[in-house]
């Protein structure tokens, strides 16, 4: 799989981009702040409908514009598809496939598959559980695009149920009002368990499938270090479900839904008291382990980088195993890695169908990677500065 053309209008620092790309390796060269990462971010957005740098879409729209447009022509096994997204200030985003509008933007998921490694990935090891849940859910959705609908339904039910918990828990409410709200809460419990169980089942299957890739990837990066492993962490699931070596079964969804319903019933008094939902995949975590100790808090800086890199490389190998190479995007990471980690990452990049790299200077890219360099520059004054692609550098080894 590769992106043949990238089109941007009013995206970040770019007022206009019409870029042709090819298979192999391309490196966007430019000083920090010139907009090279924005190109990677745009392709990543078309893949996941989210940014690896910000939580909302508003910062993606160029200052002074009221909308942004992103588009790409994606080639997969000789078949071309055009995908476009319009980001709007104050209204719903819109999407097209082959210039035809789709009802929901999430219908474009699966057309563009990417694996991105960026400096922000250190948060996968050192950050909050939300970072690791996002990693799991984006990778689950890359493998099974329809899961985006399940995630959306779960988030909607969670918001509704949380709002009801806050209302029903108020002591000032009349008994009749509380009885009605508690009855309604039973209904929302059922919806939360239904959608949550499906999401849980896919996360558990992903951890099972990712486990051997992660162990091997980490060993190749840091052979002298302790063994790396992952384990799903949840306070309401039986230990047998949390064992990454356990092969998930089709009937797991029903068992997980029943488990969630039981736990929700037991947790209800505390939930009403606190006004928050205490049971569900929104509170789970992916435990990263080095030897017998959790990586978070115990791993050195180098070990943390190795673990983050191993997670991304194992995700790449997992998606590649489905029959198509995802697009590998490396955002200013070579400068952060030592020689061994640079070599391990370069070895994977050398085999990928398309690799998009950003770097401040050519020396940041390993010499063994032959890449076509494109110079990214900015022009203009102060807040009106915009990015542009300078004349293409000769396509020699960077």
pLDDT band of residue 222 (cuts 50, 70, 90) is confident
Does the annotation place 33 within a ligand binding site? yes
Residue of 26, 23, 9 lying closest to 374 (CA atoms): 26
Does the annotation place 32 within a ligand binding site? yes
**Mean pLDDT score of the chain:** 90
Does the annotation place 76 within a ligand binding site? no
Lowest mean pLDDT among 54-68, 166-180, 229-243: 166-180
* Cβ contact 138:121 at 8 Å: no
Whole-angstrom distance, CA of residue 137 vs CA of residue 336: 26
How large is the average pLDDT for residues 342-364?
91
Residue 351 shares a structural domain with residue 247 = no
pLDDT at 211: 95
Residue of 390, 392, 317 lying closest to 26 (CA atoms): 392
How large is the average pLDDT for residues 12-34?
92
Lowest mean pLDDT among 22-31, 118-127, 225-234, 330-339: 330-339
Residue 329 shares a structural domain with residue 318 = no
Q: What is the DSSP letter of 231?
A: E
Residue 100 shares a structural domain with residue 133 = no
Q: Has residue 118 been placed in a domain?
A: no
Does the annotation place 35 within a ligand binding site? yes
Residues 6+ apart with CB under 8 A from 23: 2, 353, 354
pLDDT at 396: 28
Percent of the chain with pLDDT over 90: 74
Beta bridge partners of 18: 7
| Domain span including residue 398 | 1-113+324-398
Q: Please check the confidence at residue 382 and state whether its pLDDT lies above 60.
A: no
pLDDT at 187: 93
What token pair was written down for 102?
């789709």
How large is the average pLDDT for residues 9-35?
92
Whole-angstrom distance, CA of residue 211 vs CA of residue 230: 6
Query: Cα-flanking dihedrals φ and ψ of residue 173, to 5°?
Result: -75, 145
Q: Has residue 311 been placed in a domain?
A: yes
Sheet holding 293-294, edge to edge: 228-233, 285-290, 293-294
Lowest mean pLDDT among 179-193, 226-240, 256-270, 311-325: 179-193
Q: Please check the confidence at residue 5 and state whether its pLDDT lies above 80.
A: yes
Which tens digits make up the pLDDT trace of 249-302?
988 999 999 999 999 999 999 999 999 999 999 999 999 999 999 999 899 988
Tell me if residue 77 falls in helix, strand or coil.
coil
Half-sphere exposure of 181 (CA within 13 A, CB side): 20
Residue 272 shares a structural domain with residue 355 = no
How large is the average pLDDT for residues 48-55?
94
Does the annotation place 37 within a ligand binding site? yes
pLDDT band of residue 380 (cuts 50, 70, 90) is low
Residue of 88, 105, 124 lying closest to 46 (CA atoms): 105
pLDDT band of residue 67 (cuts 50, 70, 90) is very high
Q: Has residue 181 been placed in a domain?
A: yes
Q: Has residue 308 been placed in a domain?
A: yes
Does the annotation place 88 within a ligand binding site? no
CATH of the domain at 39: 3.40.50.300
Does the annotation place 71 within a ligand binding site? no
Whole-angstrom distance, CA of residue 70 vs CA of residue 79: 20
Q: Last residue of a domain, which of 322, 339, 355?
A: 322
How large is the average pLDDT for residues 104-122?
95
Which tens digits make up the pLDDT trace of 229-253?
999 999 999 898 999 999 999 889 9
Does the annotation place 67 within a ligand binding site? no
Whole-angstrom distance, CA of residue 176 vs CA of residue 178: 5
Q: Please check the confidence at residue 398 and state whether its pLDDT lies above 50.
A: no
Q: Please check the confidence at residue 111 and state whether its pLDDT lies above 50.
A: yes
Residue 21 shares a structural domain with residue 152 = no
Q: What is the DSSP letter of 54?
A: -
Percent of the chain with pLDDT over 70: 93
Q: Count of domains in the chain?
A: 2
Whole-angstrom distance, CA of residue 10 vs CA of residue 13: 7
pLDDT at 384: 54
Residue 241 shares a structural domain with residue 331 = no
Residue of 160, 148, 149 lying closest to 188 (CA atoms): 160
């Amino acid at each position: 799989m590769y992106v043949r053309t990238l089109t941007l209008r009013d995206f970040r620092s770019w007022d206009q981009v019409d870029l042709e790309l090819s298979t192999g390796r391309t490196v966007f060269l430019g000083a920090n702040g010139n907009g090279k990462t924005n190109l990677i971010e745009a392709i990543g957005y078309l893949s996941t409908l989210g940014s690896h740098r910000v939580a909302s879409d508003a910062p993606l729209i160029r200052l002074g514009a009221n909308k942004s447009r992103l588009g790409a022509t994606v080639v997969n096994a000789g078949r071309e598809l055009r995908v476009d997204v319009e980001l709007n200030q104050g209204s719903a985003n819109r999407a097209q496939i082959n210039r035809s509008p789709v009802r929901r933007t999430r219908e474009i998921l699966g057309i563009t598959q990417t694996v991105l490694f960026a400096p922000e990935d250190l948060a996968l090891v050192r950050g909050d559980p939300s970072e690791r849940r996002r990693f799991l859910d984006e990778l689950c959705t890359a493998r099974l695009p329809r899961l985006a609908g399940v995630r959306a339904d779960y988030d909607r039910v969670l918001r509704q149920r949380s709002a009801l918990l806050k209302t029903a828990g108020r002591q000032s409410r009349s008994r009749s009002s509380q009885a009605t709200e508690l009855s309604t809460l039973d209904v929302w419990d059922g919806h939360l368990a239904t959608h949550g169980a499906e999401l849980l089942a896919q996360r558990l299957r992903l951890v099972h499938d990712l486990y051997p890739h992660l162990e091997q990837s980490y060993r190749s990066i840091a052979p002298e270090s302790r063994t790396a492993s992952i384990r799903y962490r949840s306070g309401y699931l039986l230990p047998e479900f949390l064992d990454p070596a356990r092969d998930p079964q089709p009937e797991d969804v029903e068992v997980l839904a029943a488990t969630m319903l039981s736990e929700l019933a037991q947790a209800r008094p505390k939930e009403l008291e606190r006004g928050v939902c205490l049971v569900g995949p929104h509170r789970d975590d992916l435990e990263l382990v080095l030897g017998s100790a959790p990586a978070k808090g115990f791993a050195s800086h180098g070990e943390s980088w190795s673990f983050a890199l191993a997670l991304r490389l194992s995700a790449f190998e997992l998606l590649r195993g489905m029959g198509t190479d995802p697009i590998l995007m490396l955002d200013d990471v070579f400068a952060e890695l030592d020689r061994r980690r640079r070599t391990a990452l370069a070895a994977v990049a050398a085999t990928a169908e398309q690799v998009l790299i950003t770097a401040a200077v050519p020396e940041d890219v390993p010499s063994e990677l032959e890449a076509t360099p494109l110079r990214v520059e900015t022009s203009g004054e102060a807040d009106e500065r915009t990015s542009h692609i300078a004349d293409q550098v000769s396509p020699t080894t960077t």
